[in-house]
A and B are shown apart, each in its own frame.
Chain A
């Protein structure tokens, strides 16, 4: 086709397309505005009742709950949306009341069905709802969904198992971190929610997990004070190729390390290591709270890398009388001087 011919066809086509797009923009805005207004109008009269239920101020016979349970049609859907939203904000009795309301509306049953739907969007929504309601009956479904074929569903499943809080989910969750989708931050929060029972799974992840699982596990072993993890953490500090893992491990060692681990931490401060690891190790030496770290830290005060030198000064400051004396003794070094000045400003006695 010649350009002329093409243009003759394309011209009117484009004009039509422009018009269409302009209409689409207006349409989108109109649709959204109207939908929002209508939604607000439908929910407004119910909002007070929902708040009453959510704050546990419903009458003894549950009159408000009964009223809300009787809502039908579109208003019901908007109402359920509001309730689900509120569920993320309250807990205790108030949350139980709201879950009851969703149950009477059949929302939970529908979620249980949708959790195995063919549509990934539905599965994700269902899992979200199960998590919000902390519906323990959904535990198995949620654990299975950690290995779902859709990354987005897997990501949601991680949040859901965290909310339900069944410790059985710990190991599958850490295992699933090898896949795309699950966010490390979500996994960490979920595992915190699973509490002490997750300890065993954390040790497994340190030894055999993917890099992301090792990162999360190392972090949580430190935060959660899993002392049994120390030997495994030492191994990670010494051998892991992934800098993020090694740094997380050394930070954790600062919290759960034993006296014999000071050597391993100190070794990570040696100059040929990446700065991120050295700095984390220097901080860990302060965190571990043992006087035997003092000579290493004093040496690091003169480190040419300011980040490491300053971290060493701060660590010394935290190491009690011995550390402070060492810091004052080296006040001529820039890092020590700066830290001492800063300490005086914040009112720490030195």
Chain B
């Protein structure tokens, strides 16, 4: 298995604790992880080197996760699966996330284990 290149996941969240948790957990699950702290950086990384999947916080300084996702869906032909990770738990917020093209939506506080399953899910990877 390890001879295959590890899928790259871009994680954008302004909270360092969450970044570290997600990075750590995804690495354990066999992903290459790139972390950024705001939406602008996320967009820059996306443009320069598109990842295989993204985990986006919704409320970030600069560009919000929704904005980043909008830009991605507008400008790119390739479909990069995106998982929104947000403290906004209301139905309308979840609806808004899916409406702009999220593939999945996880509410904070989150279960790291569940997050990995869902990232696997959006990448169409079988369970470990």
Tell me the A residues contacting B by CB distance below 8 Å: 47, 51-52, 54-57, 85-86, 88-95
Which residue on B lies nearest to A87, using beta carbons?
B109
Contact A90 B24 (CB under 8 A): no
Contact B17 A94 (CB under 8 A): no
The 6 closest A-B pairs by CB, nearest first: A92-B111, A55-B25, A91-B109, A55-B112, A51-B24, A89-B109
Cα distance A47–B19 when bound, in Å? 13
Contact B17 A86 (CB under 8 A): yes
Q: Which of B15, B21, B109 contacts A55 (CB 8 A)?
A: B21
Contact B28 A57 (CB under 8 A): yes
Contact A91 B111 (CB under 8 A): yes
Q: Find chain A residues with CB under 8 A from B111 CB.
A: 90-94
Segment 11-33 of B: residues with Cβ below 8 Å from A: 15, 17-18, 20-21, 24-25, 28
Cα distance A47–B17 when bound, in Å? 10
B11–chain A nearest beta-carbon distance, Å: 14
Q: Which of A55, A86, A95 has the most CB of B within 10 A?
A: A55
Q: Find chain B residues with CB under 8 A from A93 CB.
A: 111, 113
Q: Given A51-B20, A51-B21, A86-B17 in contact, is the A92-B28 Cβ separation under 8 Å?
A: no
A81–chain B nearest beta-carbon distance, Å: 12
Which residue on A lies nearest to B90, using beta carbons?
A223
Asked whether B108 is an interface residue with its Cβ less than 8 Å from the other chain, the reply is: yes
Q: Find chain B residues with CB under 8 A from A86 CB.
A: 17, 21
Q: Given A89-B18, A94-B113 in contact, is the A57-B108 Cβ separation under 8 Å?
A: no
Contact B109 A52 (CB under 8 A): no
Can you list 13 A-B contacts (CB < 8 A)? A52-B24, A54-B21, A54-B112, A55-B28, A55-B112, A55-B113, A57-B25, A57-B28, A86-B21, A88-B109, A90-B112, A91-B110, A92-B111
Q: Which of A51, A55, A89, A94 contacts B108 (CB 8 A)?
A: A89
Q: Find chain B residues with CB under 8 A from A95 CB.
A: 109
Asked whether B114 is an interface residue with its Cβ less than 8 Å from the other chain, the reply is: yes
Contact B17 A92 (CB under 8 A): no
Q: Find chain A residues with CB under 8 A from B17 CB.
A: 85-86, 89
Cα distance A51–B28 when bound, in Å? 12
Contact A89 B114 (CB under 8 A): no
Segment 61-111 of B: residues with Cβ below 8 Å from A: 108-111
